[in-house]
Amino acid sequence: MIPQFLISSVRKSPRFIIIIHWPATLLILALGLVFGACSSQPDPNTIRMGVAQAPTNLDPRYATDATSARINRLLYSRLVDFEQDATPVPSLATWVQQSPTHYVFTLRDHVPEFHNGQGVTSQDIKATYESILSPHNASPHRGVLHIIDRMETPSDTEISFYLKRTDPFFPSYLVIGILPANLIANRHPFSDHPIGNGPFRFLDRPDETRVRLVRQTDGQLVEFLRIPDPTVRVLKLLAGEIQLLQNDLPPELVAYLANQPTLHLQQSRGANFAYLGFNHQDPLTGNILVRQAIAHAINREDIIRYVFQNRARQAQALFPPDHWAGPVQLTGYPYDPDRARTLLAEAGFGISHRPTLIYKTSTDPFRLRLATIIQDQLSRVGIDVVIQSHDWGTFYGDIKTGRFQMYSLAWVGVKTPDIFRYAFHSQSIPPTGANRGRFASPIADHLIEQAEVSTNRTEQRTLYHDLQVHFLETLPYIPLWFEDHICFSSTEITGYRLESDGNFDGLLQVQRNTSTTHVASIRSPAI
Amino acid sequence: MTAFLMTRLSSTLIGILGVLCLVFLLIHLIPGDPVEVMLGESALQADKEALRHSLGLNLPLHQQWWDYMRSLLRLDLGHSLFSGRPILDLLVERIPATLYLSLVSLTIAITLALPLGLLAATHKHQPWDLGAMGFALLGMSIPNFWLGPILILVGSLWLGWFPVSGQEGWNAVLLPALTLGTAMAAILARMVRSSLLETLGEDFLRTAQAKGLSPTRILLVHALPNSLLPILTLLGLQLGGLLGGAVITETVFAWPGLGLLMIEAIQQRDYPVVQAAVLCISLTYILVNLLTDVVYAWLDPRIQFKRP
């Protein structure tokens, strides 16, 4: 029994009056916060694009992720660009190979100025590449450009690159945006305030989720919004809060959006190579018969038809047939479960002795779904698969250190055949290269080396064709597919063209159909 | 009271130290290397080593731990390995968003839970009770990653009242807050009901009834305040969880809060940011718990902080 005086003290106590009304108190507090913290409404004239990941670095010397690379293409110009078939072509400068180890690049006429008004000279090119090559700067691109021995600038428009050894693909490496030399010397924070001479200039980064650029020609504002969840990206497009969405969507959402009358779908052939990788030092996956059985057991045609809804094409090699080094008319491994069972029997396995494989993949729900389909298909021919899904850091760490039997991954944005040395040469075992499966073939090594010293494009093409035929026979990877690039745009905008490599260059022409054209009156950020 | 606070603070410090050590060890021991993420695979081995050296990642683990602890004592949280920005700046950017979302969510939760709990307790085993507790069960069972997109579908696409995600406009907080708030309200409503039912059987309420007080007054002025202690415990825990960053809701609504920062840092193996975020979250939990204890004493003078 609680004494009466306590009850009366409780009743009279002002603290309980506050407690009784605390929802109201909190509501008032929250409303105050609402009004205090309210953010700006989106500008109706801005063209907004949803991206899955925010750019991690807007300094092209350090950027490695796809979003940064695509946005940096808009902010900065580069010496060399690529044709549709991945042949390098002049961008800021034309080039002449004076000797196997000496290239001369000459700036083209009417090169756009940097966004701070300075003209572009060969000194800027030299300073950009010198800063990448400086070991103090820890640029991730130094490994590729390490081949440069020295640079000379005989004039403001000419720069000579002297190489340590011959490399027929050298011009393909000069695709990094050029920065002003004086700002490099002053250690300007390019990642926070990018200054290049690209078709867009940096406006601001209001928070971690948004980057705003201004088109140089007409002041059109373009905003990139990071929206991690794919469903929410789609809903934002449907609600008209963004006007563009490119890639990074699961196939079912693509199919749903394709049926929306207010959206326009563009699709182009992709070149990102999805594959199954193997540990060649493992007794099971090191056996070619087992790998061939797996290749015959996977029904890629059905996966592409039903899972990708025909928005992918089968891969037989690392490069697609429309790449200059891509093999044409290669016959891969057709779906043939009987042949798979026969091959397994030849390898010493059968109903009473089923092999068990560990298949590592990431935690991405779509990749996990693909893994379970492959698991089911392999189970039908007598291979038991245990799927291990890890967060990206753990998964990728395991792959690089060779802690796997089988895994699935994709090579993204690969354009130059130097990938063959990097991923398959016997001397490229990590940490030297990315031969993660420890594949070793003297024939492959020989073909890679021959193609690297050849200066004749036709001969190179033949050698790479032979190499990829050899890979299809020996199966260091099982080629799976090339996923298509997909872009949805709202009817509010016109003129966006989806590029074959998925870059954002279509933003150069895009227009928003509003009654008035927004011209940004905002100045470039202070330097 | 002071003695109580001192005792609590000292046990708090030991708790924080334990959390810090555990997180430091776990994040360093799991596979994945920030240098590899930063430089990529194609980087030269010498460059990787140089970067590892400049970041101090080449030092023995105990040395790294000791350096980290010494920096903490100087209140220096360090810099992000990736952006190079001071971590304090990153936290200062993210904490207001999380705090704002938490407070609005809590307001929604309380606003929903108190009437529902009261209704259920005063109409025990009647349709009102079943309805309120059915809502509570539904609220607890629906995961946030499903409720969030459904609320967007209804509130943004069909009704057009709210922005889909982000922080655009004054009403942008309401959908993520509703997502978080309804789940919290569900648990809270059940607690209000059971706690009230327990109190309603007490003698002092019979006395109040005998005195001729109105049922509303008995309920709101006598019964509810006396059933607040367990509710407060739950609220403290829920607020702690909210302030720690509602990772799923923040991801769905692209809400730039603490939870999203931590997840991104874990994926990139940005050790200092993960450590700072965990430190921040554990401090929040501990402070909220401490605050709950203090409010206990403030609410109910019978509770005194004495050694047994």
Instruction: Please give the full DSSP string across A409-456, using - where no structure is assigned.
Output: EEE-S--STTHHHHHH-TT--TTSS--TT----HHHHHHHHHHHH---
CA distance A181 to A288: 53
How high does pLDDT run on average in chain B?
83
Q: What share of chain A is helix, strand, coil (3-state, %, to 5)?
A: 35, 20, 45
pLDDT number for residue A36: 46
Asked if the C-beta of B57 comes within 8 angstroms of chain A's C-beta atoms, the answer is no
Q: How many domains are there within chain B?
A: 2
Q: Is residue B93 located within the same domain as residue B48?
A: no
Alpha carbon A442 to its chain's center: 31
- DSSP one-letter code for A83: -
Other beta carbons within 10 angstroms of residue A423's beta carbon come to 22
Q: What pairs with residue A107 in β-bridges? A: A93
- DSSP one-letter code for B171: G
Q: What share of chain B is helix, strand, coil (3-state, %, to 5)?
A: 75, 0, 20
Identity (one letter) of the amino acid at A214? V
Q: Which residues does A75 contact at the CB level (< 8 Å), separation at least 6?
A: A58, A60, A177, A194, A196, A198, A200, A201, A202, A213
- B20 is a domain residue: yes
Asked if the C-beta of A23 comes within 8 angstroms of chain B's C-beta atoms, the answer is yes
In the stretch 67-96 of chain B, residues with CB closer than 8 A to chain A read 82-84, 93, 96
Q: Is residue B153 located within the same domain as residue B258?
A: yes
Distance from B46 to chain A by nearest Cα, in Å?
9
Last residue of a domain, one of B47, B73, B99: B73
CATH for A270-483 is 3.10.105.10
CA distance A442 to A448: 10
Q: Is residue B106 located within the same domain as residue B217?
A: yes
Query: How many Cα neighbours within 13 Å face the side chain of A377?
Result: 21
Distance from A394 to chain B by nearest Cα, in Å?
5
SS3 A297: helix
Compute the average pLDDT of residues B150-158. Answer: 90
Name the residue range of residue B102's domain: 89-268+294-299
Question: A146 contacts in B (CB within 8 Å)?
Answer: 44
| A165-169 CB contacts, 8 Å cutoff, 24+ apart | A165/A101, A166/A100, A166/A101, A166/A453, A167/A418, A167/A452, A168/A452, A168/A453, A168/A454, A168/A455, A168/A460, A169/A88, A169/A416, A169/A417, A169/A418
CA distance B65 to B45: 25
Q: Is residue B23 located within the same domain as residue B124?
A: no
CA distance A515 to A8: 69
Searching chain B, which residue's CA lies closest to the CA of residue A403?
B31
Last residue of a domain, one of B31, B46, B73: B73
- Is residue B166 scored above 90 in pLDDT? no
SS3 A329: coil
Comparing A419 with B169, which gets the higher pLDDT? A419
pLDDT number for residue B207: 86
pLDDT number for residue A27: 53
CA distance B246 to B262: 11
In the stretch 156-215 of chain A, residues with CB closer than 8 A to chain B read 191, 207-210
Alpha helices per DSSP H over B142-257: 144-152, 174-200, 203-210, 215-217, 224-226, 228-243, 247-252
Q: What is the pLDDT along chain A (527 residues), one digit of tens a residue?
A: 333 333 333 344 444 444 445 555 555 455 555 444 444 556 788 999 999 988 888 999 988 888 999 999 999 999 999 998 889 999 999 999 999 899 999 999 989 999 999 999 999 999 999 999 998 887 888 888 989 999 999 999 999 999 998 888 899 999 999 999 999 999 999 988 999 999 999 999 888 789 999 999 999 999 999 998 898 999 999 988 999 999 989 888 999 999 999 899 999 999 999 999 999 999 999 999 999 999 999 999 999 999 999 999 999 999 999 999 998 888 889 999 999 999 999 999 988 889 999 999 988 888 999 999 999 999 999 999 999 998 877 888 888 888 999 999 999 888 899 999 989 999 988 877 889 999 999 999 999 999 988 888 899 999 999 999 999 999 999 999 999 999 999 998 999 999 888 899 999 999 988 643 333 333 333 33
Identity (one letter) of the amino acid at A348? G
Q: Is residue B118 located within the same domain as residue B263?
A: yes
pLDDT number for residue A294: 97
Placement of tokens 């490994």 in the chain: A143
What are the CA-CA distances from residue B196 to residues A145, A397, B114, B201 (Å)? Answer: 72, 54, 11, 9
Domain boundaries in chain A?
77-185, 270-483
- Which of A37, A139, A394 is facing B32, going by the closest CB pair? A394
Q: Which residues does B137 contact at the CB level (< 8 Å), separation at least 6?
A: B186
Q: What pairs with residue A102 in β-bridges? A: A99, A162
Alpha helices per DSSP H over A42-180: 66-75, 122-133, 142-145
A431 preceded by cis ω (within 30°)?
A: yes
- Which of B47, B172, B268 is facing A143, going by the closest CB pair? B47
Give the tokens for residue A145.
């450009």
Q: Is residue B44 located within the same domain as residue B100?
A: no
Q: Is residue B114 located within the same domain as residue B247?
A: yes
- Is residue B146 scored above 50 in pLDDT? yes
Distance from B183 to chain A by nearest Cα, in Å?
17
Give the residue from A22, A169, A236 with the most B CB atoms within 10 Å of its CB, the best one to mutate.
A236
Asked if the C-beta of B201 comes within 8 angstroms of chain A's C-beta atoms, the answer is no
Give the tokens for residue B243.
């302030």
Model pLDDT for residues B228-285, shown as the tens digit of each residue: 888 888 888 888 778 766 888 888 888 888 888 888 888 777 888 888 888 888 888 8
SS3 A158: strand
CATH for A77-185 is 3.90.76.10
Q: Which residues does A357 contact at the CB level (< 8 Å), separation at least 6?
A: A284, A285, A378, A383, A384, A385, A386, A405, A406
- B78 is a domain residue: no
Q: Is residue B67 located within the same domain as residue B105?
A: no
SS3 A87: coil
What are the CA-CA distances from residue B198 to residues A417, B124, B223 (Å)? Answer: 75, 12, 9
pLDDT number for residue A1: 34
Given this chain, do its domains A77-185 and A270-483 carry the same CATH topology? no
Question: A144 contacts in B (CB within 8 Å)?
Answer: 42
Phi (first) and psi of residue A159, to 5 degrees = -140, 135
Q: Is residue B260 located within the same domain as residue B133?
A: yes
Give the tokens for residue B205.
């309420």
- Is residue B77 scored above 90 in pLDDT? no
Q: Is residue B114 located within the same domain as residue B253?
A: yes
Last residue of a domain, one of B20, B38, B73: B73
Q: Any idea what the CATH number is for the domain that residue B146 is in?
A: 1.10.3720.10
Judged by CB atoms closer than 8 Å, whether chains meet at B96 and A431 is answered as: no
Asked if the C-beta of A22 comes within 8 angstroms of chain B's C-beta atoms, the answer is yes
Q: Is residue B256 located within the same domain as residue B146?
A: yes
Q: Are B287 and B209 in contact (CB under 8 A)?
A: no
Question: B202 contacts in A (CB within 8 Å)?
Answer: 2
Other beta carbons within 10 angstroms of residue B45's beta carbon come to 11
Q: What pairs with residue A313 in β-bridges? A: A482
Other beta carbons within 10 angstroms of residue A385's beta carbon come to 20
Question: A37 contacts in B (CB within 8 Å)?
Answer: 96, 100, 167, 173
Identity (one letter) of the amino acid at A328? V
Asked if the C-beta of A41 comes within 8 angstroms of chain B's C-beta atoms, the answer is yes
The edge-to-edge listing of strands for the beta sheet with A477-483 is A312-314, A477-483, A273-278, A406-411, A356-361, A384-389
Q: Is residue B61 located within the same domain as residue B93?
A: no
What are the CA-CA distances from residue A102 to residues A82, A125, A148, A171 (Å)? Answer: 21, 16, 10, 11
Q: Which residues does A175 contact at the CB level (< 8 Å), separation at least 6?
A: A78, A79, A80, A81, A82
| A90-97 CB contacts, 8 Å cutoff, 24+ apart | A92/A120, A92/A125, A92/A178, A93/A125, A93/A159, A95/A171
Q: Which residues does B79 contact at the CB level (< 8 Å), separation at least 6?
A: B85, B86, B87, B272
CA distance B243 to B280: 9
pLDDT number for residue A16: 44
pLDDT number for residue A40: 53
